[in-house]
Structure 1
Amino acid sequence: MKQITKWLSVVAILAMTCAVSQAANIVVKGSDTMVILAQKWAETYMQKHSDAKIQVAGGGSGVGFAALQQQTVDIANASRKIKATEIETCIKTFGKRPTEYKVALDGLSVYVNAVNSIKELSIDQLAGVFTGKIKNWKELGGADAPIMVYSRENSSGTYEFFKENVLKGRDFAANAQPMQGTAALLQSVAKDKNAIGYGGAAYGAGAKHLAIKKDDSSAAIEPTEETIVSGKYPIWRYLFVYVNPTLDKGQIAHYLNWIRSDEGQSVVKNVGYFPLPKNLRE
């Protein structure tokens, strides 16, 4: 009888250990723009919380939202706001609207090859380039050479943000080359002297970013922390995480609070994005 009691006690302890382990396992998926930041958050948090196990994957904001709807992830990273149709699907699936947290600021930079003589463009000129209306660099004061447009895949939140806010909903040029991730896009721009592309501010190595003008009469603005946080730079955005409210407790809630703390926001700055002002961290 004592042996049975002892065995049951061992089973109970193992079950409790398993439950704690499962509770501490956080699965994160979504924005490729945010994947390096999310990995660094996870790494830093796990170093300080040995019971936490955080798995991070990219794939694009749309992929993250789909996984949230299918309840295969705990947290969806997104470089754009959730769509009404995605909210509706979440409500149908788990009965609630996902909770949205702003977690960082980003300036969407426009990149050209380092040898390109162009230093600035307006929003209208960018729209002309990326929709295919402007096809040659000489139309913008540059060399007589065809413009090679690099974009993101259509599951990307960065793609959708750029299309909505720069192209004003118009389609990208038919010959735009879709790239899987900002890092891959920048590698292509760095190798192609006639290239142009766009991506998060943290991915600038290997290419040159342009100063951007809101319109022809405005000053060209560089994407810096001051201009992005103040909203002076024309192409800025929030970066988000979304979570099923039912799961927003325990280890997951602690992790999300930590991301928005001073410590979590210092990771944002170290990676190359811009911390949220404190009044937006609630």
Structure 2
Amino acid sequence: MKKLIGIVAACLMIASTAFADTTIKVDGSTTVLPIMQKVVEAYMKAHPDVKISVSGGGSGNGIKSLIDGATDIAMASRAMEQKEIDLAKTKNVNPNQIVCAIDAIVPVVNPGNKLAEITTAQLKDLYTGKITSWKDLGGEGPVVVISRDTSSGTYETWEGLVMKKERVFPGALMQASSGAVVQAVSKNKNAIGYVGIGYLDASTKGLKVDGIEATAENAKSKKYPVSRDLYLYTNGAPSGAAKGLVDFLLGAEGQKLVKEAGFVPLN
């Protein structure tokens, strides 16, 4: 009887392990989210035994979830900070960085705005509250500044590359996602925001920065001044079903989906 119970227990343990290996949780950046959604849809179609849940709560939240052991893969639109890496190690989490795509953060205005290009210095003046009227840039009306919230990797990249570590001024309207930025700018003729290149559509107008257009080539070469890599983070090298998903994303089919999502593939 004891032998039978032992066999049953072993079988249950094997079944439990197998189930765990086919369940993946992905959380983090809303910039990487459209890429991951396309990749997950294609991967689950090819691997119906694998169950994957994807949510986009921002890069900071995704990294926190990885550190807390609440997600298998964290999506991030900025690199982990040293303090996050140090905290992870105190919890026996070894962050493994994987570059999955390339992006350009593009300032966007309402299509009714006549502005076609802007400088990084002007963007900084807008986002510190120094410029408050479009008249200063050849337009008309008050400027409505739209920004991502502080948990966003896009916000942190913008702060580093455009703001030069100065904070966005308190009068900016903070949004929880890139989609919310697009919606806010599309509905307000005086608004300016910034989004990843994959979020550009006809509802807003992307601006050249320092005379350089946000093209795939310019983003990849980093000639465009607000270019960046997009990341996945795992606890150590990915394994099991998570490795299968990551390998798929980095492979030819996955990188094709990166391009379909509007972002820049690695190859």
TM-score by length of 2: 0.94
Q: Which among 65, 78, 81 is matched to residue 79 of structure 2?
A: 81
Write the deviation string for residues 106-142 of structure 1: whole angstroms up to 9, x where unpaired: 0101100001011000110110111111111110111
- Aligned equivalent of 1:111, options 108, 111, 114: 108
| Structure 2 segments unaligned to the other structure (5+ residues) | none
- Residue equivalent to 2:159: 163
Q: State the alpha-carbon separation in 1 of the partners of residues 224 and 60 from structure 2.
A: 26
Contact 1:24 1:52 in 2 (8 A): yes
- Across the aligned residues of Structure 1 and Structure 2, the Cα RMSD in angstroms comes to 1.7
Shift of 1:203: 0.9
Amino acid at match of 1:202: G
Corresponding residue of 1:221: 212
Structure 1 segment 1-282 matched on structure 2, within 5 A: 13=11, 15-94=13-92, 96=94, 98-143=95-140, 145-205=141-201, 206-213=203-210, 220-245=211-236, 248-277=238-267
Q: Give the AA of the match of 2:241.
A: Q
The alignment's TM-score, normalised by the length of structure 1, stands at 0.89
Matched residue of 1:59: which SS? Answer: coil
SS across alignment from 1:109:
strand
Displacement after TM superposition at 1:16 (Å): 3.0
CA contact (8 A) 1:150 1:195 kept: yes
Q: Percent of aligned positions with the same letter in both sequences? A: 38
Residue 254 (structure 1) shift: 2.1
Q: Give distance in 2, aligned partners of 1:74 and 1:122.
A: 39
Give, in whole Å, the separation in 1 of the partners of 2:13 and 2:90: 32
Aligned residue type for 2:58: G
The amino acid across from 2:223 in the alignment is K
* 1:74-131 per-position Cα deviation (integer Å, ceiling 9, x unaligned): 11100000000000011100153x1100000001011000010110001101101111
Q: Which amino acid aligns with 2:257?
A: V
Q: How many Å apart are 1:11 and its aligned residue?
A: 6.6
Query: Which residue number corresponds to residue 217 of structure 1?
Result: none
Residues in 2 aligned to 1:26 and 1:221: alpha-carbon distance in whole angstroms: 39
Checking the alignment, whether the CA contact within 8 Å between 1:109 and 1:210 is kept in structure 2 is yes
